[in-house]
Chain A
Amino acid sequence: MSEILLEIKDLEVQYLTMDATIRAVNGLSLILNRGETLGVVGETGAGKTTLALSIMQLLPKKIGRIVGGCIEFAGQSLLNASAKAMRSVRGDEIAMIFQDPMTSLNPVMTIGDQIAEMIELHSTDKNKKEISVKVDELLEVVGIPATRKAEYPHQFSGGMRQRVVIAIALACNPTLLIADEPTTALDVTIQAQVLEMMEDLKTRLNTSMLLITHDLGVVAAMCDSVAVMYAGRIIEYGTVEQIFDSPRHPYTIGLLNAIPNLENKSHRLIPIEGLMPNPALLPIGCSFHPRCKKCMEICRRQNPINFDDAGHRVACHLYFSNTEDT
């Protein structure tokens, strides 16, 4: 069996606001193996980014808190780690690429200095010259000429900025890379360039990756396995082939039907009726039941557990034929 790198069990995350408790993540469990790319798909508000921030322990202080479950990285619990230990995990072990390269870079620092900063903080034994050599190397790796390292973020295009962000993330050879919508802000041809580079780097450096996106096309192109999120839970998990070729959960099927298909022209799309539930007022039972066309009586009462078939897991009552009578 392959080695487990990241294991999350029954994670629950809440945000406390003045008037409500927002349940962003509700009993989420997932496993990421070493060297694997796991895609986390879901729509706005599904809890994808909250998941990433929980792993990194970067939830907004006071408002966001983890109320249950555990996160283990390489056998060690991240939830019990001290702030100091977490600081060395971040960057060294787990690095993150954020969605918007325009806002995740410091506008008043040259890109060379921003990459160097990362190396200085994490490998204190390196002298200035070694750091500078490493910066040149990293820029080379992401396809930016080293001669541009004295330039500022505004002098670069969106695609180039995202390359800088990737260079920073890779600076300390992390074991796990969390990429939160890394190409959403980019044009298609630039997206193709960046994805190709990420794929190439991943194989070369043997990095594991958690790829968070709402774009099913990106997932199909990049990932080994897929977790579909809805209202803070993973409702379906499997290999890319299992998810795209034989989706099981009505939500996953609905998502795939809602995308205009390039191959066969159908006149009408089949949208999923209704909206994502308000995370402050989650429905009782399965959180998808108000939008589900196959909703049964039990769905309104009981939250489904996972139905497991050769690693293809789906949280839906439809697959427990016996439970309908109970």
Chain B
Amino acid sequence: MENIILELRNLKKYFPTPHGVLHAVDDISLSINRGQTLGLVGESGCGKSTIGRTILRLIEPTSGEIYFEGQNITDIPKSQFKSMRKHMQFIFQDPYSSINPRLTVSQSIAEPLIVNKLASSKSELNELVLHYMEMVGLDSRLASAYPHELDGGRRQRIGIARALSVEPKFIICDEPVSALDVSIQAQILNLVQDLQEQLNLTYIFVTHNLSVVKHISNEIAVMYLGQLVEKCQAEELFERPMHPYTRALLSAILLPSPKSRNKKREILRGEITSPINPTPGCRFAKRCNYATAACVGESYELRDMGGDHMTSCIRVISGELKWD
């Protein structure tokens, strides 16, 4: 389809460790339409950041293919891949460590423009830097300020300006607001949404915060230990969650309202299991309150339950497990 900007086919990333093979991303297939936002949710260690990094080939995939605008970008030699990165950018989680502390705001934003030879003269470069500063809401008087003089929200704006400066079509936002206070978080989320409308950007928005992901995404994919367990439209996920893990995640959200206190919470047993040498079968089974013998031993794939609502829970697929 023409409208698909990015497609992952059976993407895998394994890391060798002294104790065995760590399955960080295990057989993930998904696609994103132009101008849309895909939210990628999961807990620490589920591989959501690894997916982002693998798409930009900051780390090389173990197997599988990545298609960007219909072109397989998995086997483009590294030397030529640099030109692809103009179209695909990254906004990092921590605005404190992802920006060079020894460069001023304008130098930081100019860097990608210089590297990609996007300005023909010094005056054009200055103009472009000011243009992007304005776009992300940084006052021009801050051009010669250093990152340590700025708060987290402004630093994150520098990161966003750097990503935008090469005019990308697609941006991976890796927890861009989780290091920020709520009042600043709202400013950045609004900015990210406004920029999407103005520039017709496509986002993968990686986060562990479910309220944020619902707010910003068109579609949400839920990950558990390197695999997708559920994927559907954002609204649908909150209205009709299917996978027991998704349901537990949603039930663990604490709403800022005292009324929600009486809500029955589903508490998961145990902790996330090791992604090293996982045994076949549902990886969530050990913590699942609904697991049966059928959940272990065989691996299951995402199945469309109608209306593009995909889940991997075998008991839901077989109709054994129904929610009211």
- The interface of chain A, by Cβ under 8 A from chain B, is 43-44, 157-160, 187-193, 195-196, 214-221, 240-241, 244-245, 254-263, 265, 267-272, 275
Contact = CB atoms under 8 A, between A and B. Distances in A.
Interface residues of B, number: 40
B251 to A, nearest CB: 8
B181 A44 contact: yes
B271 A160 contact: yes
Contacts of A257: 186
SS class of chain B's interface: helix, strand, loop or mixed? helix
Interface string B182-199: 111111011001000000
A269 B185 CA distance: 9
Contacts of B272: 157, 187
- The 6 residue pairs across chains A and B that have the minimum distance between CB atoms: A217-B254, A260-B215, A271-B186, A216-B256, A269-B186, A258-B186
Nearest to B270: A193
B43 interface: yes
Given A192-B265, A241-B258, 13 more contacts: A189-B267, A195-B254, A240-B258, A255-B183, A256-B256, A260-B189, A260-B214, A261-B211, A261-B215, A262-B238, A265-B215, A269-B215, A275-B153
B185 A258 contact: yes
Contact of B189 (A189, A255, A269): A269
Nearest to A46: B181
B249 interface: yes
A271 B267 contact: no
SS class of chain A's interface: helix, strand, loop or mixed? helix
Nearest to A219: B256
B43 A43 contact: no
B211 A259 contact: yes
Contact of A196 (B208, B257, B261, B265): B265
Interface in B265-310: 265, 267-268, 271-272
B235 interface: yes
Contact of B187 (A159, A221, A256, A271): A271
B182 A188 contact: no
Given A43-B183, A196-B265, A262-B211, A217 B255 contact: yes
A263 B253 CA distance: 12
Contact of A188 (B181, B183, B189, B249): B249
A262 B253 contact: yes
A271 B193 CA distance: 14
A193 B235 CA distance: 26
Contact of B256 (A188, A190, A191, A244): A244
A214 B181 CA distance: 8
Contacts of B186: 257-260, 269-272
Contacts of B248: 189
Contact of A262 (B151, B255, B267): B255
Contact of A43 (B181, B187, B252, B271): B181
Contacts of A191: 252, 254
11 contacts: A187-B208, A189-B248, A216-B256, A220-B254, A240-B258, A260-B214, A261-B211, A263-B255, A268-B193, A271-B190, A275-B153
A270 B183 CA distance: 8
B44 interface: yes
B144 interface: no
A190 B269 CA distance: 9
Contact of B258 (A160, A245, A265, A272): A245
A221 B260 contact: yes
A271 B258 contact: no
B261 A221 contact: yes
Contacts of A267: 193
A192 B151 contact: no
A277 B182 CA distance: 16
Contacts of A216: 182, 256
A191 B254 CA distance: 10
Contact of B182 (A157, A196, A255, A265): A255
